[in-house]
């Protein structure tokens, strides 16, 4: 018979001995947790990692270290995470543009989204906001569309890299309005935003978390939210449907992943901790202020979402013939 005391020791807060003979392996976690971020500081991926950092430290009882490893369209950090020791102490803050996009655009990847990685917790889910440079002669989405149609192939749009959601969004936007635009890729959202704010690139479609300060400061123009609903952090910005471009939506997610070989009990422990943090009022409020939301999802829900994204986003990329050499 399991007594009440014994039952409490077997709960989520108890140390986790894995695997094999009880006590034969170190408890999890037994040292600091590293979260690899495939982008520079300042973008939506980095925002999600830091949003969860403090809560995850408290939930797991170990320091959580954020390590930014940008480059190669996310593949430097993703490859390192996929090859990491599958013991739960190395996490990846994965972006759906990389998770579903890179396999569809790139040959000879050193990782596979299904075979090598398991999503263990949702960080943030975010719509995208359509931004225009301050010197663009358009203050509404309708005015920008008219400008692009009058100047086919002359307006530029930024992205955080070839094949990113921003790149795909720009391709789909140009198709939706029937006007060619020129793609200008950057190494992350932060440098892209700098050039948009500086008037060197006319448009950028990105997640609000990296752009709200610039929007509120009047350094970029927020034309519309590419989503079915307005963002809590930008309540005055209309949706694309409200602005006259119905049917154009673009959403992103940023989730925590581990090597697929990580034992299931460790994945469950991480999932429980991340779901706990996602539901904390302060975390939810900070996410909303950054134009995003949090979601407490189970391992099964996360796996289904990731697999669906790999299939559906991959199909869009292949149809648009987007490739990265």
Alpha-carbon distance 191 to 42, whole Å?
Answer: 9
Residue 36 tokens read as 């690899």
Q: How confident is the model at residue 24, as a pLDDT?
A: 53
Q: How confident is the model at residue 321, as a pLDDT?
A: 83
For tokens 């029937």, what's the residue? 178
Q: How confident is the model at residue 62, as a pLDDT?
A: 97
Q: How many residues does the chain have?
A: 325
Alpha-carbon distance 38 to 115, whole Å?
Answer: 19
**Are 89 and 31 a contacting pair, CB within 8 Å?**
yes
Burial class (CB in 10 A: 0-12, 13-18, 19+), 60: buried
Q: Which helix or strand (DSSP H or E) is residue 163 part of?
A: none
For tokens 């530029």, what's the residue? 156
Tally DSSP H helices, then E strands, for the chain.
11, 12
Residue 48 tokens read as 């999600």
Task: Record the pTM.
Answer: 0.77
> b/e per residue, 118-156, with b = 16+ CB within 10 A?
bbbbbbbbbbbbbbbbeebebeebeebbebbeeeeeebb
What domains lie within the chain, and their CATH numbers?
A: 30-125+252-319 (3.40.190.150), 129-249 (3.40.190.10)
* Number of other CB atoms surrounding residue 193 within 10 Å: 25
Q: Which helix or strand (DSSP H or E) is residue 153 part of?
A: none
Per-residue pLDDT of the chain (325 residues; tens, 9 = 90+): 334 333 333 344 445 554 444 445 678 999 999 999 998 898 789 999 999 999 999 999 999 999 999 988 899 999 999 999 999 999 999 999 899 999 998 988 999 999 999 999 999 998 899 999 999 999 999 999 999 999 999 999 999 877 778 888 998 899 999 999 999 999 888 899 999 999 999 999 998 878 999 999 999 999 999 998 888 889 999 999 999 999 998 888 999 999 999 999 999 999 999 999 999 999 999 998 888 899 999 999 999 999 999 998 888 888 878 887 6
**Are 88 and 269 a contacting pair, CB within 8 Å?**
yes
Closest Cα partner for 185 from 68, 74, 50?
Answer: 74
Closest Cα partner for 123 from 80, 100, 92, 99?
Answer: 92
Closest Cα partner for 244 from 138, 112, 316?
Answer: 138
Strands 156-159 and 182-185: parallel
N-term to C-term CA, the chain:
62
Gyration radius (Cα) of the chain, Å = 21
138: Cβ–Cβ under 8 A, 6 or more apart, which residues?
132, 144, 146, 147, 221, 223
Residue 131 tokens read as 């931004």
Strands 33-37 and 64-68: parallel
């Amino acid at each position: 018979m399991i007594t009440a005391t014994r039952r409490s020791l077997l709960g989520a807060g108890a140390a986790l001995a894995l695997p094999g003979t009880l006590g034969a392996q170190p408890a999890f976690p037994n040292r600091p947790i590293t979260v690899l971020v495939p982008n520079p500081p300042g973008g939506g991926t980095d925002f999600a990692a830091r949003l969860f950092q403090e809560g995850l430290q408290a939930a797991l009882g170990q320091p959580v270290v954020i390590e930014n490893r940008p480059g190669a369209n996310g593949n430097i950090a993703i490859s390192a995470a996929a090859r990491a020791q599958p013991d739960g102490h190395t996490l990846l803050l994965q972006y759906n543009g990389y998770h579903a996009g890179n396999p569809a655009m790139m040959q000879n990847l050193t990782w596979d989204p299904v075979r090598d990685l398991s999503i263990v917790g949702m960080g943030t889910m975010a719509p995208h906001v359509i931004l225009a440079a301050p010197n663009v002669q358009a203050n509404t989405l309708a005015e920008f569309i008219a400008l692009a149609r009058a100047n086919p192939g002359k307006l530029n749009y930024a992205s955080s890299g070839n094949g990113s959601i921003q790149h795909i969004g720009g391709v789909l936007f140009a198709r939706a309005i029937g006007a060619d635009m020129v793609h200008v890729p950057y190494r992350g959202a932060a440098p892209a935003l700098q050039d948009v704010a500086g008037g060197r690139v006319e448009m950028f479609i990105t997640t609000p978390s990296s752009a709200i300060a610039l929007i509120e400061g009047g350094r970029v123009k927020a034309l519309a939210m590419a989503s079915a609903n307005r963002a809590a952090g930008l309540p005055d910005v209309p949706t694309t449907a409200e602005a006259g471009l119905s049917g154009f939506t673009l959403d992103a997610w940023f989730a925590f992943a581990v090597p697929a070989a990580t034992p299931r009990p460790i994945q469950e422990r991480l999932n429980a901790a991340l779901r706990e943090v996602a539901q904390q009022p302060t975390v939810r409020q900070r996410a909303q202020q950054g134009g995003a939301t949090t979601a407490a999802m189970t391992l099964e829900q996360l796996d289904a979402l990731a697999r669906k994204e790999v299939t559906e986003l991959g199909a869009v990329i292949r149809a648009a013939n987007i490739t990265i050499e």
